[in-house]
């Protein structure tokens, strides 16, 4: 295995007049868990599908485990596990039959029964795929990606629609893969998931990489801390901001929930509580927190809801 399990250089993918991926470059180190984060329509899935060999690059270069995922797909396929966002099994096939079939395509598959049991599929093994719940279909998709003992796994939204117990089980499996030296590339909308699992993160939007680094690097680069508290809705945030150091801003979102962003010091905290005392307001649930990966993500991609 090469030092880089995945190399994408200046990838461009267009659908008619729409540019889905616009000169995107990224590198995934072997043995790492790399998360690709971005809003809907950012180009994540198109990039992943190109790395999987389902799409041919219109411009740029893609190499997966040192191979071209399109022209050398037959050599690459036995070494790569793919979990799609949806589908991946025939409508009428029973879950365990599908898992047995995929396992038989590999030389040294994982024990099917043990894998199915770990992912909570034991009780529904004889149920046709179309009758499985959304969470069961998602867990079967994960099992299909892992049963062949791949060197590299692509997981596209692996915990979407899963209950908390199934999410934790999936996280545990990903952590086991990392310990075993398997490279994992995942996309997710859950920032806590990326912060827990990923050793490296790319944030993309409009088909381009906005930033990258370890979760710790990305959050520490945002030097500001956050003061949050609850109080009656409609406080004068302009007056509160004026009482604070110049680099601080105050927002109310949603009503009754206030957030002070800036280089928070003990003096800043004292100024917030002093102002609340002046206007006879008791700040409830007041806390000081360091920025999370979600804060970084929203700062880069915007906080407005997209259509």
Does 147 lie in the same domain as 20?
A: yes
Question: Quick one: CA torsion of 253, 212, 11, 39, rounded to 10 degrees?
Answer: -20
Does 38 lie in the same domain as 12?
A: yes
Q: Which residue has the tokens 């999987």?
A: 52
Distance CA 76, CA 74 (A): 5
Q: Are 20 and 65 a contacting pair, CB within 8 Å?
A: no
Does 278 lie in the same domain as 133?
A: no
Six-digit token string for 268: 């800043």
Does 233 lie in the same domain as 181?
A: no
Does 134 lie in the same domain as 107?
A: yes
Domain membership of residue 254 (yes or no) is: yes
Domain membership of residue 85 (yes or no) is: yes
Q: Which of 168, 193, 219 is the last residue of a domain?
A: 219
Domain membership of residue 121 (yes or no) is: yes
Domain membership of residue 307 (yes or no) is: no
Q: Which domain holds residue 116?
A: 4-219
Six-digit token string for 208: 């381009």
CATH number at residue 26: 3.40.50.300
Does 230 lie in the same domain as 160?
A: no
Count of domains forming the chain = 2
Provide the residue-wise pLDDT of the chain in tens; the chain has 307 residues. Answer: 447 999 999 999 999 999 999 999 999 999 999 999 999 999 999 999 999 999 999 999 999 999 999 999 999 999 999 998 766 788 899 999 999 999 999 999 999 999 999 999 988 888 999 999 989 999 999 999 999 999 999 999 999 989 999 999 999 999 999 999 999 999 999 999 999 999 999 999 999 999 999 999 998 876 567 899 999 999 999 999 999 999 899 999 899 999 998 888 899 999 999 999 999 999 999 999 888 899 889 889 987 766 6
Give residue 223's pLDDT.
Answer: 55
Domain membership of residue 207 (yes or no) is: yes
Domain membership of residue 305 (yes or no) is: no
CATH number at residue 237: 3.30.70.980
CA 179 to chain centre: 19
Give residue 110's pLDDT.
Answer: 96
Domain membership of residue 303 (yes or no) is: no
Six-digit token string for 231: 């109080």
Contacts of 156 (CB under 8 A, 6+ apart): 44, 45, 48, 83, 84, 85, 186, 187
Does 59 lie in the same domain as 46?
A: yes
Q: Nearest Cα to 6, choosing from 34, 28, 21, 23?
A: 28
Six-digit token string for 63: 């190499």
Q: Does the pTM of the predicted model rise above 0.85? A: no
Give residue 1's pLDDT.
Answer: 44
Q: Which of 169, 190, 219 is the last residue of a domain?
A: 219
């Amino acid at each position: 295995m090469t030092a880089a399990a995945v190399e994408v250089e200046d990838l461009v993918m267009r659908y008619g007049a729409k540019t889905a991926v616009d000169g995107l470059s990224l590198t995934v180190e072997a043995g790492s868990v790399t998360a690709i984060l971005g809003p809907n329509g950012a180009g994540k899935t198109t990039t992943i599908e190109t790395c999987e060999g389902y799409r041919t690059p219109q411009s740029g270069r893609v190499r997966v485990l040192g191979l071209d995922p399109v022209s050398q797909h037959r050599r690459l396929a036995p070494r790569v596990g793919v979990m799609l966002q949806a589908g991946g099994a025939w409508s009428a096939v029973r879950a365990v039959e599908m898992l047995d079939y995929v396992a038989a395509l590999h030389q040294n598959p994982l024990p099917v029964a043990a894998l199915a049991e770990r992912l909570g599929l034991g009780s529904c093994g004889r149920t046709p795929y179309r009758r499985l719940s959304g969470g069961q279909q998602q867990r079967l998709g994960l099992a299909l990606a892992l049963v062949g003992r791949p060197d590299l796994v692509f997981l596209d939204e692996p915990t979407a629609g899963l209950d908390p117990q199934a999410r934790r089980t999936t996280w545990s499996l990903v952590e086991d893969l990392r310990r075993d030296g398997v490279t994992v590339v995942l996309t997710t909308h859950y920032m806590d998931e990326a912060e827990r699992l990923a050793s490296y993160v790319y944030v993309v939007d409009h088909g381009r990489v906005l930033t990258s680094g370890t979760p710790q690097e990305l959050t520490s680069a945002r030097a500001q801390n956050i003061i949050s508290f609850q109080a009656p809705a409609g406080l004068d945030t302009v007056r509160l901001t004026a009482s604070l150091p110049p680099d601080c801003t105050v927002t109310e979102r949603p009503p009754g929930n206030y957030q002070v962003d800036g280089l928070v010091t003990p003096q800043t905290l004292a100024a917030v509580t002093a102002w609340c005392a002046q206007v006879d307001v008791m700040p409830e649930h007041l806390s000081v927190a360091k920025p999370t990966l979600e804060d970084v993500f929203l700062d880069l991609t915007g906080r407005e809801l997209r259509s």
